[in-house]
Amino acid sequence: MKIINFLIIVLISVFLASCSKVTDPVKKIGLGSRAVNYEVDENVDSLIIPPDLTAPSSQGAFTKVIEVNDNSDVLVRVQNVEVMRDKYRRWLLVDIPPAEVWALSKDFFRSYGFQIEKENQKIGLLETDYLEIETNVPDKSLGSIRAALSKVLKTQYGLPIADKYRIRIEATANPMESEVYLTLSSIGEVVSGAVRVWQPREKDVELESEMLLQLMIFLGNDRDDSISKIQSNVEKNKTTVSVVLSDTGYASLVFPFDKKESWKLLGWALDELSVDINDRDSLEGSYFINVTPNKGFFSKLLATASITKTYQLILKEDTSLQTKVIFVDLSEEDDEKTISYSAELFDQIASKF
């Protein structure tokens, strides 16, 4: 009987070990609320310049002296990267032209093991694919038997999560400057009955901040200076962004700002909602978005063929203190689902403010 009990314990241990991951050292994201193992490729260094691009402009850059082991000094070039913020957003102002920021941003995410899923340099938008990461479950959530086995076998239990990032690069009036917006989206597996399914996760703001910090350093900013800029705060005052219905039933979005500021806020909100931007025209003040009707979240993760509709969001400045965003169905079908979606989308955007 003792032999049988021993064999049962061994079999259970082997089974549980097969469903878990042997604990390895993980690279922790310092400011994040959880430990994340992004596999950093040490061969990808800051300021890698592709052969078809010139080195970034020296405007706004400075150098510092680093002492090396042979008692000689070397000059390390440091690029100026500022953290800009308002009541809603935080973004980077970089003394590098948009084309060079584009190439460096791709190298940055590749250095962490991310694949580039979507890129459109014309509109300055690139998105990574989801990168899956294992997570730990606290012992108190495992139960006494699994917790004990976890310690004996040096294993960890958890359901995976996956992160993806969107980078949006905006040109400024200065051709040697760029605005850079970074947005994190995460999903996680959860147990639903007898199956495990992927569901959206609440944004980890601290992790997003950490990756913004790492991007600043990758672009050439001094690390201590970057940390100081990231940690600075600004007072947050809520501003009302309203949704109104027209006589046709379509919803409109009203920003209490001029057209230029509303344009930037709308772009940020679309990033936050992971809305697929097909094209945009800053001179006209319009975004073209792709929407797949009646497509659930899970199916969005799969490369399945489906009908995608493109809608246009046009900004019209009423006064210097008010801008209206108009929803346009380019197919001109104006069906009830489309009209209903205009209100749904604008309600989601307004909720971000």
For the whole prediction, is pTM greater than 0.75? no
pLDDT tens profile 239-297: 789 999 988 889 999 999 999 989 999 999 999 998 999 999 988 899 999 987 655 54
Domain count, the chain: 2
Spell out where the chain has E strands. 21-22, 62-67, 73-78, 81-85, 90-94, 116-120, 125-128, 131-133, 155-156, 161-171, 178-192, 195-200, 242-245, 251-255, 276-281, 286-291, 309-319, 322-329
d(CA 202, CA 184): 10
**Would you say 82 and 219 are in contact if contact means Cβ atoms under 8 Å apart?**
no
Clarify whether residues 271 and 138 are in a common domain: no
Clarify whether residues 225 and 246 are in a common domain: no
pLDDT tens profile 227-238: 888 877 655 566
Residue 116 phi/psi, 5-degree rounding, is -85, 115
Residue ending a domain, among 189, 218, 234, is 234
Is 28 among the domain residues? yes
CATH number at residue 88: 3.30.530.50
Domain carrying residue 177: 23-234
Is 14 among the domain residues? no
Residue ending a domain, among 180, 215, 234, is 234
pLDDT tens profile 100-138: 999 999 999 999 889 999 999 999 999 999 988 766 554
Nearest to 35 by CA among 163, 224, 141, 219: 163
Clarify whether residues 115 and 242 are in a common domain: no
List beta partners, residue 308: none
